[in-house]
Structure 1
């Protein structure tokens, strides 16, 4: 493939943007290709190269790059009426009503502008509602670029994970390993009266896609109930992607007190949201004492896109289609790694997928999960499958980035550029696309 135009654009970008990008995950080696346009399940770069796209904007594009007609019409209509008003509109009410009807935890919603803003606001809300300061998070979990969760370490030895965050922020955050009941129980035994909330993704989706072991999410629900803390699910990625319109909380049957959203809920436009029980969400200003506000919150174009996005899914076979293709792809990759890289672990659920380059595995794969790790204790890979973010971090991340991703790109398949970020099937993908992708996997692995 020729990448001369992308290379020239990157050279220009380095002069005016730090690292040549506006989000660090886009800084691929040796330089990113620059997208000119999207086309269904594909993107076309500045040099005219065409790629099957499984990045899908890092999750928001449930329908691929071609919006369904009702979504396109709504976006065009609301954009032509004026960009924004600084006053409420009917469409934000309709969108909030739709979300509240379908998501188990949601009675009220506050719309914001990004997943980061949603989780920042949820942390502030939890502290304001409970009168407590400490937040329990999962090690290697990601909740946006916010000071309270950009931490690393273990209980009792926590420090910021990036420069620019005072140590005092980290002192109020307690990271624990995902799927580790014993450690989180010990934390609550010691700090339970000071914990405002447990903040977790129901599925770790920024660290290789790690599913919860059976009973773990319910254990968090029980602990928080016992100690008067809130359970906050970060469904920025899994929301309206895993579990359909009920989200991951519906799929796993565990209802949090508060849920954060982003990505799909905005129909491909910048968005975030915080939903939950009325008595909690009403603590936000102006109804309550927890300040939260934003100039672009509830932006009419975003609200129209998000509402029509979800309504189209409710009225069509969207989830049947994407989940079937997701399973087909994971099954196919599982068969390929069995032959070419038996130590690797295929992960994912519904329309999400990833291959984690784990270093060890059982000699007998006959009882392994056939369509992505389900954390089944009866599975012969159970002791080898990633249970925490650290397990994914111990995989062959350099091999993924330097060899595998590059090879897949040269075969015209666009994957997320590191070992950690999720990948997504869209409504625009076809069975033929899946077959083409599996052939690329065979060559690359």
Structure 2
């Protein structure tokens, strides 16, 4: 595959940008990332003219694919043609807010911001301001953006910053626990319950291999936060409007959090974030409350138009049937491929998300009867249950270097663009076809 143009662009980029990129994960591809020239349906075309089936979809925002349906494209162009932005409210903000409030169980009011990071930063500040408490419980390996309160590693007894530039004093207010570990989170509440402002959790650990919650885990978080007058905050930046359709993952699991953060799909491919929740909580934001939050570009009219028309199109057409059907087809096909070629490996994902985790141990080929047919569901009756990842540490113990250094490149050589490492999710869009799925399954057979 010819990469001369991408290599030349990367050489230029290294001279003017740190690592040659504007987001660290983009540099995970070695020896250098390829540069994209344009998108086309479920594909991208790179700077050298190579055409790839794209399962990254901008890391999640592109529910509809690269070719936007005419009404979505028209709304974006109309908003852009009427002026970039105004520094004052627009009707589009109200329309999108009303749409979200109608469809997402936890949301009575919403505040739009500019990124998923900004949403989680604001949610943490709101939780602390509302409760008058300092500590936030997070899941080890969970990702909530580039913010000081959650770039924390270790455990609840020994939290430490996971990035330079974050004071240890910040990390001491963060309590990391393993995802799916009920005993660990109960112990943390027993010791610190009176000072826990909230639990910040992805309902599916979606940025670290797609780890499904075990039965009862999210219910435990809801119970503990209720008992200790803390807030349950769902980070649905990735799962929002992808898992569970318009009701998001909280409707899929039947758990209603106090606050929910959004990003990606809610902006239709443009920069966006949002925090929604019970009215009395969201009213805590300025100007009605004491928790300061503001932003020049918040509620940007082009983003609001893109988000509203994307979600409206999804509501009025077969978008979720299409993407979830292809997701099921992909995961079922991958399950069959692995049973034949790599029975140790685990297929994960739900709805329009999928991934193969290169787990090192698993049942033998003759013990696979009764396994989850299209992605791990943490089913205790599944023969893989004792082997499938339950938390971020389990994913990290997989063959992550083989995935990145060998497998990813093999897939790209066959025209398949997968996420840049084993931890990031992969996504199906409305622009993908059954032919894309079949081609991808054949590529997995070859690469594995």
Q: If the length of structure 1 is used for normalisation, what is the TM-score?
A: 1.00
Q: Provide the C-alpha distance between the structure 2 equivalents of 1:269 and 1:70, rounded to a whole number of angstroms.
A: 16
Matches within 5 A, 1:263-282: 263-282=264-283
1:112 & 1:253 partners in 2: Cα distance?
Answer: 26
* Cα separation, 2, equivalents of 1:357 and 1:189: 36
Cα distance, 1:193 vs structure 2:
0.6
Q: Secondary structure at the residue paired with 1:143?
A: coil
- 2:129 maps to 128
Tell me how far 1:68 sits from its aligned partner. 1.2
Q: CA deviation at 1:417?
A: 1.2
* Structure 2 alignment gaps of length 5 or more: none
Which residues in structure 2 correspond to 1:415-426 (within 5 Å)? 415-426=418-429
Distance 1:314 1:63 in 2: 12
String of CA shifts for 1:96-132, please: whole Å, max 9, x gaps.
0000000000000000000000000000000000000
Answering whether residue 433 of structure 2 is matched by residue 430 of structure 1, we say yes
Whether 2:6 is the aligned partner of 1:3: answer no
Name the residue aligned to 2:12: 12
Structure 2 counterpart SS, 1:206: coil
Matched positions, count:
445
Corresponding residue to 2:400 among 397, 402, 411:
397
1:84-163 paired onto structure 2 within 5 Å: 84-163=85-164
| Alignment partner of 1:287 is 2:288 | yes
Return the alpha-carbon distance in structure 2 between the equivalents of residues 30 and 417 of structure 1. 12
1:367 Cα deviation from its structure 2 partner: 1.5
Q: Which residue of 2 aligns with 1:339?
A: 340
Structure 1: give runs of 5+ residues left out of the alignment. none
Superimposed CA distance per residue, residues 198-226 of structure 1 (whole angstroms, 9 cap, x where no aligned partner):
00000001100000001100110000000
TM-score when normalising by structure 2: 0.99
The aligned counterpart of 1:171 is 172
The 2-side partners of 1:283 and 1:387 are apart by: 35
Alpha-carbon distance between aligned partners in 2 of 1:41 and 1:327, rounded to the nearest angstrom: 17
Provide the secondary structure at the position in 1 that maps to 2:138.
strand
SS in 2 for 1:36: strand
Partner of 1:384: 387
Instruction: Report Cα offsets for 1:236-278 as digits up to 9, x if no partner.
Output: 0000000000000000000000000000000000000000000
Q: In structure 2, what is the Cα distance between the partners aligned to 1:318 and 1:176?
A: 36
Secondary structure of 2:355 counterpart: strand
Distance 2:304 2:156 in 1: 40
Residue 136 of structure 1 aligns to a residue in which SS?
strand
Query: What RMSD in Å do the two structures reach over aligned CA positions?
Result: 0.4
**Cα separation, 2, equivalents of 1:231 and 1:417:** 31
Return the offset for 1:155. Answer: 1.3
| C-alpha displacement of 1:362 | 1.2
Deviations, residues 264-317 of structure 1 (Å, cap 9, x unaligned)? 000000000000000000000001000000000000000000000000011011
Runs of 4+ in structure 1 off by over 3 angstroms are none
Q: Which residue of 2 aligns with 1:70?
A: 71
Q: Which residue of 2 aligns with 1:369?
A: 372
Match of 2:444 in 1: 441
* CA distance in 1: counterparts of 2:12 and 2:344, whole angstroms: 41
Q: Distance in 1 between matches of 2:105 and 2:70?
A: 29
